[in-house]
Chain A
Amino acid sequence: MTVAPAAGAHSSAPAPATPVIDRRRARKRAAWRRRGTVLLFMSPWLAGFTIFFGYPLVMSAYLSFTHYDLLNPPRWVGLANYRYLLGTDAQVWPAIRNTLWLIAFMVPLQVMFAFGVAVMLTRAKRGVGFFRTVFYLPALIPPVAATLGFVYLLNPATGPINTLLGKIGITGPLWFNDPTWAKPSLVLLSLWGIGNTMIIFLAAVLDVPQHLYESAELDGAGAMQRLRWVTLPIISPVILFALVLAVIQGLQYFTQAYVAATVAGGSASQAGSQSNLEIGYPEGSTLFYPVLLYYQGFRFFNMGYASAMAMLLLVVAFAATLLILRNSKRWVHYQGAAR
């Protein structure tokens, strides 16, 4: 706050005594009123942060050292949850591996594809609005609906995609029903929904100053070279932003994996027994870390253990963000960085 009562009082020292005190008091009152305004404006967030972030974060840390099933009071078990998490639990490492797979393949593919589509749009002369809408819209479609659609499209025996592939003589894979193809199927689904990233890239690419392209062209740079040496460096902060966002979303990846596994798995075991659904169908290939956390916490009600999993996720999410941001200095180019 920019309140400086001492300086103010000093400068007005020669004036008669009473107005000084009055003025000082008025100034103080104004300062308090300003503080009150700030407090009032910030109050929803203060309350919201305390109740929905601060409290559960502390509570999560506490619960991670307990055994808790929601019915009986939490029982302190020390590091047992963490020991089980990092040592004994046979499902954790596959889940972590699957999640890392997402971050290693899905995230870069998404970012590259979004960039490619954005560049494609800048090169089109006609119907840009139409194409932009077509590429953007899938991003809005509810993930559950999109996933259901893809499970049907990629249905191994009768799905349209394998039918089309069959017509050109290719035997399509089993997609969501094959452990090696389940994750690539999810990648296809995610590439369909790159609209948001694409729009951000598009705005960034269109913002690149034209004179840079002109001088590059004068220097004899071809289209590819201009893309590599002008467009990419200029929009690198935006790419970084998209990358961070995609990694964070990769760490939280749940809905598509859960729906695909339950729906594809449900249609495989058609006999109707919904109860013995396999987690991460098929063969644990879509068992991602958040999916496992959900099952542990809210299906098996191992809430202490789920809290320990949440704590590990928190550490990893922070580490990943920091890592990307730290390494970014090497390749991100901020315009007018001298500022």
Chain B
Amino acid sequence: MSVADAGIETAPIVRRRLPPAVRRRRMLVAIADHSLIIATAIIFLLPVVFIFLTSLMTNQQALSPKLWPDPFQWGNYREVFTSAPLWRWALNSFIYSSLATIGLLVSSVPVAYALARLRWRGREAAFLVVLVALMLPPQVTVVPLYVMWAKLHLVGTLWPLILPNWLGDAFAIFLLRQFFLTIPEEYLDAARVDGCGEFRILTTVVLRLAKPAIAAVALFSVLYTWNDFFLPLLYVGENPDNWVTSIGLAQFRGLHQVQWNLTMAATLLVMLPVIVLFFVAQKAFVEGITLTGVKG
């Protein structure tokens, strides 16, 4: 740990040697700061550590107060796959995720562009409508939509989850618009002078400049669909063939009585793709989240 002073303080213009009392105080503050952050980090890590340890226990041990697996039963991870159709659920989740994300990007990008970069009467009102849609709890519209999908005989399939994404998603539109607004007008004007239509400008200039935002939106969408529970519960909850991972995991303990060790192994396996995705695309994530915090 460094002896430097704590946190937000900044370097004064002229660095003088500080009196020993002040230096000692600052060092104590720094130690307190770091102890606090380390303690908090340990608390944050603890759940995952315990889940991992439990996933390696025998079933009997998982139901005892022992915290350390003895013996380490790595075979649990094999048994999870034989005891539940984990791959099937993952495949369904993958289908939902990929089709929804592709549709969401294809349909939301032009809308966001029209809201950010084309000038037309009613644009501000239209953006307000997007914001309202963003705020609306999904429960408000869910009954008639369920009736609609039931009448189309699509309840039990993944389509009620996928298809709405092909007609624009409020959050994606919002995020992309925020980013498109930051693109300097000169780039677009240059393309216009060269005789590009708006469609060409969008597909060449804007898309190239907006890669980070598009990556962030795609990431959020993949994450959202992988984690989504409420809508899959409604639409595929009754059809185990089309269960996605979140539904399967929620039912896992029902299928296997009290097998906490296997349940924790499955839990960890469901967490894993998300964590891997984060480490692969960490920068895009953080940029994207920060983008949501920017006022529009």
- A152 in contact with B260 (CB, 8 Å): yes
Q: List residues 288-328 of chain A with CB under 8 A from any CB of chain B.
A: 290, 293-294, 297-298, 303, 306-307, 309-311, 313-314, 317-318, 321
Contact A270:B271 (CB < 8 A) given known A142-B246, A152-B264, A303-B147: no
Query: When the two chains form their complex, are residues A158 and B114 in contact, meaning their CB atoms are under 8 A apart?
Result: no
Cross-chain contact B253 with A290 (CB below 8 angstroms): no
The answer to whether A142 touches B137 (Cβ under 8 A) is no
Binary CB contact string for chain A from 122 to 165 against chain B (1 if under 8 A, 0 otherwise): 11111000110111111011111110111011010110100110
Cβ of A187 within 8 Å of any chain B Cβ, yes or no, is no
Closest residue of A by beta carbon distance from B277: A140
Question: Taking the complex as formed, is B135 at the interface, i.e. its CB lies under 8 A from any CB of chain A?
Answer: yes
0 or 1 for each of A109-133: is its CB under 8 Å from B? (1 = yes)? 0000000010011111110001101
The answer on a CB contact under 8 Å between A120 and B47 is no
- Least Cβ–Cβ distance between B46 and chain A, in angstroms: 8
CB contacts (< 8 Å) of B154 on chain A: these are none
In the assembled complex, how far is the CB of residue B294 from the closest CB belonging to chain A, in whole angstroms? 9
Docked pose: A289 CA to B167 CA in angstroms: 29
Cβ distance B132 to chain A, nearest Cβ, rounded Å: 9
| A59 sits at the interface (CB 8 A) | yes
Residues of chain B with a CB closer than 8 A to A241's CB: 293, 295
Q: Are A124 and B168 in contact (CB under 8 A)?
A: no
For window 192-206 of A, CB contacts with B under 8 Å fall at 192, 196, 199-200, 203-204
Main secondary structure of the interface of B (DSSP, over half): helix
Complex interface: stretch among A5-13, A15-23, A48-56? A48-56
Contacts of A136 on B, CB cut-off 8 Å? 286
Residues from chain A with Cβ under 8 Å of B8 in the complex:
122-123, 213, 223, 226, 231
Cβ of B54 within 8 Å of any chain A Cβ, yes or no, is: yes
Note all chain B residues with C-beta closer than 8 A to A83. Answer: none
B21 beta carbon closer than 8 Å to chain A: no
| Interface 1/0 per residue, B32-76 and A, CB below 8 Å | 011011001100110110110010000000111101000000000
| A53, closest chain B residue (CB) | B133
Residue among A41, A70, A251, A298 making CB contact with B198, cutoff 8 Å: A41
Distance in angstroms between the alpha carbons of A175 and B277 in the assembled complex: 32
CB of B9 within 8 A of CB of A144, answer: no
Verify B263–A148 contact, CB threshold 8 A. Answer: yes
Contact of B168 among A48, A155, A274 (CB under 8 A): A48
Residue interface bits B135-146, CB-to-A below 8 A is 1, else 0:
111111111111
- Which residues from chain A contact B292 at a C-beta distance below 8 Å? 196, 200
- Give CA–CA (A152, B295) in the complex, Å: 40
Per-position contact with A for B210-246: 1 when CB-CB < 8 Å, else 0? 0000000000000100110110011000000000011
Assembled-state Cα–Cα distance A70/B145 (Å): 12
Instruction: Please name all residues of chain B whose beta carbon is closer than 8 Å to the beta carbon of A164 when the two chains form the complex.
Output: 67
B182 is an interface residue with CB less than 8 A from chain A: no
Judge whether A87 is part of the interface by a CB distance below 8 angstroms. Answer: no
The reply to whether A70 and B139 contact each other, CB–CB distance below 8 Å, is no
CA distance A237 to B168 in the complex (A): 28
**A158:B121 contact, CB within 8 angstroms:** no
Query: How many angstroms from the CA of A238 to the CA of B289 in the assembled complex?
Result: 12
Contacts of A153 in B (CB 8 A): 47, 50-51
In angstroms, how far is the closest chain B Cβ from the Cβ of A196?
A: 6
> In the complex the two chains form, is B141's CB within 8 Å of A53's CB?
yes
Contact (Cβ within 8 A) B166 A44: yes
Cα distance A146–B227 in the bound complex, in angstroms: 10
Residue of B nearest to A48 (CB): B167
A103, CB-defined interface residue at 8 Å: no
Q: Confirm or deny: B14 has a beta carbon within 8 angstroms of a beta carbon on chain A.
A: no
Q: Is the CB of B143 within 8 A of A142?
A: no
Contact of A158 among B65, B145, B268 (CB under 8 A): B65
Q: Once bound together, how far apart are the Cα atoms of A226 and B8, in whole Å?
A: 9
- Bound-state Cα–Cα, A298 to B45, Å: 37
Q: Which A residue's beta carbon lies closest to that of B151? A: A70
A199 to B282, CA, bound (A): 12
Whether, in the assembled complex, A232 has its beta carbon less than 8 Å from a beta carbon of chain B, the answer is no
Contact partners of A252 in chain B: CB under 8 A? 137-139
Cα(A155)–Cα(B230), bound, Å: 25
- B254: contacting residue among A41, A146, A248, A274, CB under 8 A: A274
B153 at the interface (CB under 8 A from A): no
Tell me the bound Cα distance from A175 to B118 in angstroms. Answer: 54
Q: Which of B115, B126, B137, B199 contacts A251 (CB 8 A)?
A: B137
Q: Which of B79-87, B94-102, B105-113 contacts A (4 or more CB under 8 A)?
A: B105-113
Determine if B37 and A131 form an interchain contact, defined as CB atoms under 8 angstroms apart: yes
Once the chains are docked, how many angstroms separate the CA of A313 from the CA of B120? 34
CB of A49 within 8 A of CB of B198, answer no
Does residue B209 face the partner (Cβ distance < 8 Å to A)? no
Provide the bound-state CA to CA distance between A45 and B173, in Å. 9
The contact of A290 among B113, B139, B143, by CB within 8 Å, is B139
> Within 8 Å CB of B190, what residues of A?
none
Q: Provided the pairs A163-B67, A200-B290 are in contact, do residues A38 and B44 lie with their beta carbons within 8 angstroms?
A: no
**Nearest neighbor of B238 in chain A, beta-carbon distance:** A298
Interchain CB contact (< 8 A) of B114 among A38, A254, A306: A38
Q: How far is the CA of A55 from the CA of B143 in the complex (A)?
A: 11
23 residue pairs of the A-B complex, CB under 8 angstroms, read A34-B118, A37-B197, A37-B198, A38-B118, A44-B111, A45-B130, A48-B169, A57-B140, A120-B33, A121-B37, A124-B37, A141-B271, A145-B267, A150-B47, A157-B65, A203-B290, A213-B10, A223-B6, A248-B135, A259-B250, A294-B230, A297-B142, A303-B146
Chain B interfacial positions (CB closer than 8 Å to A): 1-2, 4, 6-10, 12, 29-30, 33-34, 36-37, 40-41, 44-45, 47-48, 50-51, 54, 62-65, 67, 107-108, 110-111, 113-115, 118-121, 126, 129-130, 133, 135-148, 150, 164, 166-169, 173, 197-199, 202, 223, 226-227, 229-230, 233-234, 245-246, 249-250, 252-254, 257-258, 260, 263-264, 267-268, 270-271, 274-275, 277-278, 282, 286, 289-290, 292-293, 295
